[in-house]
Amino acid sequence: MSDLSTEEIKILEGLSKEEILAKLKSEAEEQHKSRKTFFGRDIISIHELSREGILHILKHSKGMKETPQPDLLQGYVMGSCFFEPSTRTRLSFETAMSRLGGKIIGFAEAGVTSAKKKETLYDSMKIIGQYVDVIAMRHPMEGAAQRAAEATDKPILNGGDGSNQHPTQTLLDLFTIQECQGKLDNLNIAMIGDLKYGRTVHSLAQALTNFNATLSFVAPESLQMPNYICDDLDKHGVKYTLYEKIADVVSSADILYMTRIQEERFPDKMEYEKIKNTYVLDSKMLISAKPNMRIMHPLPRVNEIATDVDHTPHAYYFEQAHNGLYVRQALLGLVLGKLT
Partner 1 sequence: MTSEQKTPEDLRAFKVYAIKAGTVIDHIQVGRAMKIIDILKLASHKSTVTVGLNFPSSNLGRKDIIKVENRELSPEEANRVAIFAPNSTINIIRNFKVADKFKVKIPEIINKIIVCPNPTCITNNETMSSCFHVSHNGDINIIKLRCKYCEKIFIHDDIREYKS
From the list 32-40, 63-71, 141-149, 237-245, the region that binds partner 1 by CB under 8 A is 141-149
Give me the least distance between CB of 169 and partner 1, in Å please.
Answer: 15
Q: How many CB atoms lie within 10 A of CB 324?
A: 26
DSSP symbol at 226: P
CA angle 78, 203, 55 (to 5 degrees): 70
Give me the least distance between CB of 11 and partner 1, in Å please.
Answer: 20
99 is in an annotated binding site: no
88 is in an annotated binding site: yes
Sorted by sequence, the CB contacts under 8 Å of residue 146 that are 6+ apart come out as: 44, 45, 161
Q: How far apart are CA 20 and CA 28, in angstroms?
A: 12
Residue number, 84 or 248, with CB nearest to partner 1: 84
Q: How far apart are CA 221 and CA 227, in angstroms?
A: 12
Selected from 144, 192, 201, 213, the binder of partner 1 by CB under 8 A is 144
Is residue 161 at the binding interface for partner 1, with CB under 8 A as the rule?
yes
Is residue 111 at the binding interface for partner 1, with CB under 8 A as the rule?
no
Is residue 290 at the binding interface for partner 1, with CB under 8 A as the rule?
no
Give me the least distance between CB of 291 and partner 1, in Å please.
Answer: 39
**Binding flags for partner 1, 14-33, as an x/- string (CB under 8 A):** --------x-----------
Residue 241 designated active-site: no
340 is in an annotated binding site: no
Measured torsion, CA atoms of residues 204, 143, 129, 126, in degrees rounded to the nearest 10: 170
Selected from 91, 141, 242, 275, the binder of partner 1 by CB under 8 A is 141
Q: How far apart are CA 166 and CA 150, in angstroms?
A: 18
**Each residue of 257-292: b (16+ CB within 10 Å) or e?**
bbbbbeeeebeeeeebeebeeebbbebeebeebeee
Q: What residues numbered 42-61 form the site for partner 1, per CB under 8 A?
A: 45, 47
Selected from 2, 31, 221, 228, the binder of partner 1 by CB under 8 A is 228
DSSP symbol at 225: P
- Give the residue ranges of the annotated binding site: 88-89, 117, 138, 166, 169, 199, 260, 299-300
